[in-house]
Structure 1
Amino acid sequence: MSKSKTRLGNWQEEIAFEEDKKKLQKALQSTGGLLSQQILAKVQQHTVPCTLGQLGDVLQYGVPFLFQNTSNDGALAIDMDDRILGPLGWKVNCSTTPSREATLRSSWVVMPNPTGGATISDPVCYGNKVLICSVAELADPPVFLASEMKTPQSCSKFSKNQEVYFTPNTGIGSLWSFEYSNPEYRQDVEGQPINPTSPVVLKHVATNNFLATTNFHFTNDFGSENEICCARLQTFASKSRTAPERSENYWRIVGAI
């Protein structure tokens, strides 16, 4: 696969990320040992470049894209080896990465709800119940973005909001819908094809909460990354929930340039 030329957002963060990655790889190589070799191999496998799709005028099912948050320009990313076994199956950790490169760990496709009426050839529309799926080269079988109701036993690690993870299951917890960025017009555009050049919010169908990234940083095998969670982060309190969301709730759909 050819290397993606997608580079957006804060260049200083990207340069710092690349320096951290080089330092990490150098440290792993110098320390030796089986564990270090395994981590290095994992990083190399996860960061294989991925070719993004041409998005066109409407978002299509099955076309690889980056999902980039507007608050920190971080891209949704996964660590397939960072997982725990929960009551309903595996939970695979995810985050936002400052890397602007399209890699296997940060590239996604939208797939139709298996029990819905949409087909792979249809455009993705606002309000459709969909799956956010890993690319085929990363995981077989694939994994899907998921969440569940917040409880004392299940919440995001740092912000204590609703937990978000990836899972091989395609049940109700893995269903999402793209919503129009302006809450005043969401109902008006529901059912219309999504324009991939416009920011969106991603709503978790089962809990009605929105995908978000936070300012909480943590270090994993890929460097310093940001927490992912589900929460409605509105600019001001609104009983009708029509207040605009904060930038942490808004996402860009980024395809090939």
Structure 2
Amino acid sequence: MAHMRTYRTNVRIGNWNEDLRLEEDAKKEYLEKKERGELFAQKVDFLKQNILSPVNLTVTTDGNLHFGNVVMLVNMGGEKRECSAVSINADINGLKKIPSPCIQAPCGVSAGRGIQACLRTAFIITSVDGSPEGSTLRYEQSFALKTTSGFAGGLYLTSDLQSFQKCAKMSRLQEVNLDDGGSFLSWWKIVHFDPQERLEYEGQPVPADVSVLIIHCKTNQALAVLGHHVLWTTYDKEYELTAHTFLDSHKAEQDNNHWILCTSDSLGKGSVILNHPQSAANNKELTQANPDV
């Protein structure tokens, strides 16, 4: 008797009906999430679209920093470290929807190499001692750095003493992050980058767009960027931020601790430092020549 096939190749076998239902359910769930904007790619696009939206930095008329100014905190880089700016390091899990979409606290920060004035890099110089908005910020005067309101959440750049439970993820140094509420942990002060000039400049107005040190008031540690600790973020590979004073052999702070509070070009072409990078290299001569600016 010749061999006969008992079924054709298109005969369904096994739990074909159950597999078909599961496939249909998965497709239906996918379409529903897509319609609600809940797919991972959609969430990432929504985050980037909002947090990377442009922000106008303050244009200074007298060359000094004032309370209420919107600035970027830029480190000009160093050995094996590119120019970078203090940036909100939020991911899709750090968003809250009620009452309106915004970044929730606590939120991490990093030093992003994509230097642009946007919600992610803009900070407002905020008074903590009752100084009125518009008044001049002075060396050694306490202040806070606050993100813009709205999507950025109006959060404060904050730090606290290093502990086993609370420290920077990679370096294990003192952590810096964003939190709500303007407590003493969010108080900072600016000192002259040259240790030999600090007493002379104490109480003087702080010029915009020159290198300074940003010191945490409670711990007396300087804000620092770590070029040898690279973080993988939603935005790209970026440097870790910490509050730690790095001293050289002459007891002077290294370029990891040097920051420029960038304002906008008076011509409306963006950051002064990015348009005129030589101003960063020459800031020492400028400040020495004009100690009262």
The answer to whether the Cα contact below 8 Å between 2:190 and 2:212 also exists between their aligned partners in 1 is yes
Of structures 1 and 2, the one scoring higher in RCO (CA 8 A, sep 6+) is 1
Q: Distance in 2 between matches of 1:49 and 1:137?
A: 14
Gaps of 5+ in 1: 1-31
1:151-202 C-alpha deviation (Å, 9 max, x unpaired): 0111111111100001012111000001111111212211111011321110
Which residue is 1:44 aligned to?
49
Write out aligned runs for 1:183-198 (5 A).
Answer: 183-198=195-210
Judge conservation of contact 1:156–1:164 (CA < 8 Å) in 2: yes
Per-residue deviation, residues 14-70 of structure 1 (Å, max 9, x unmatched): xxxxxxxxxxxxxxxxxx971221011101111001111112411011121111013
Whether 1:165 aligns to 2:177 is yes
2-side partners of 1:138 and 1:187: how far apart?
40
What CA distance in whole angstroms lies between the structure 1 residues aligned with 2:158 and 2:94? Answer: 13
> For 2:69 and 2:130, how far apart are their aligned partners in 1?
19
2:152 equivalent to 1:139 = yes
TM-score normalised by length of structure 2: 0.69
Identity of aligned residues (%): 22
1:39 is paired with a residue whose SS is: helix
Structure 2 residue 112 is the aligned partner of structure 1 residue 112: no
Q: Describe the SS at the equivalent of 2:240.
A: strand
In the aligned structure 2, how far is the partner of 1:164 from the partner of 1:197? 23
Deviations along 1:84-116, whole A, 9 cap, x unmatched?
9xxxx9321000111121111101110100xx1
Is the 8 Å Cα contact of residues 83 and 93 (structure 1) preserved in structure 2?
Answer: no
Supply the distance in 2 between the matched residues of 1:68 and 1:107 (Cα, whole angstroms).
11
- The answer to whether the 8 Å contact 1:59/1:196 transfers is yes
**Whole-angstrom distance in 1 between the partners of 2:109 and 2:211:** 21
Q: 2:109 aligns with which of 94, 97, 101?
A: 94
Larger Rg: 2
Structure 1 residue ranges (4+ consecutive) displaced by more than 6 angstroms after TM superposition: none
Could you give the per-residue CA deviations for residues 123-171 of structure 1, whole angstroms, max 9, x where no partner exists? Answer: 011111101011224334x100000000011111111110000101211
Q: Which residue of structure 2 lines up, in the alignment, with residue 121 of structure 1? A: 134
Richer in strand (by share): 1
Match of 2:75 among 66, 69, 75: 69
How many residues align structurally?
215
RMSD: 2.1
Q: 1:159 and 1:219 mapped to 2: Cα distance?
A: 14
Tell me, in whole angstroms, the C-alpha distance in 2 between the residues paired with 1:102 and 1:232.
27
Question: How does the TM-score come out when normalised to structure 1?
Answer: 0.79
| 2:216 matches 1:204 | yes
Compared CA separation, residues 92 and 33, structure 1 to 2 (3 A): closer
